[in-house]
Amino acid sequence: EDGAAGRRGERERSEEGPAERGPGAAFHMFVLMEDLLDKLKLLSYEEEALRRHNMRPLSRHYFALPTNPGEQFFMFCTLAAWLITKAGRPFEQPQEYDDPNAVISNVLSELRSF
């Protein structure tokens, strides 16, 4: 019993909300998104990925705020497919109405093979 209680306490500490982790924790996702956008720009994602699919550039907080989950998921899949292809692996570009579970399964399978 003591072991189970100890594990439960560890789990509760690891699932702390933003207030328990510090005042800046709530904004960490925005910092990560800005870093991601900087890295995508270094890889010329606007010219290579977005223009090919007639998509608009990402805002600085595109993935940090849940605005349109379907659109955000498709953008994520498009960028993931482009990055996998850029890494030298052939990967079929997902379509907007493909089964989300199949798309994610394909992306994860390809990433595991790296």
Binned average pLDDT, 10 residues per bin, the chain of 114 residues: 49 51 84 93 92 89 90 93 93 90 94 91
User: What's the pLDDT at 11?
Assistant: 46
Any domain includes 15: no
Q: What is the Cα–Cα distance from 12 to 30, expressed in whole angstroms?
A: 25
* pLDDT for res 62: 92
Task: Identify whether 45 is part of a domain.
Answer: yes
pLDDT for residue 111? 92
How many Cβ atoms from other residues are within 10 Å of residue 71's Cβ? 12
Q: Is residue 2 part of a domain?
A: no
- 60: Cα separation from own chain's centroid: 14
Query: Tokens for 81?
Result: 């497919």
Identify whether 1 is part of a domain.
Answer: no
Angle, CA of 42, 92 and 87, to the nearest 5° = 35
Number of structural domains, the chain?
Answer: 1
75 lies in a domain? yes
Domain ranges, residue 89: 25-113
**pLDDT at 52 (0 to 100):** 86
Q: What pTM was computed for the model?
A: 0.74
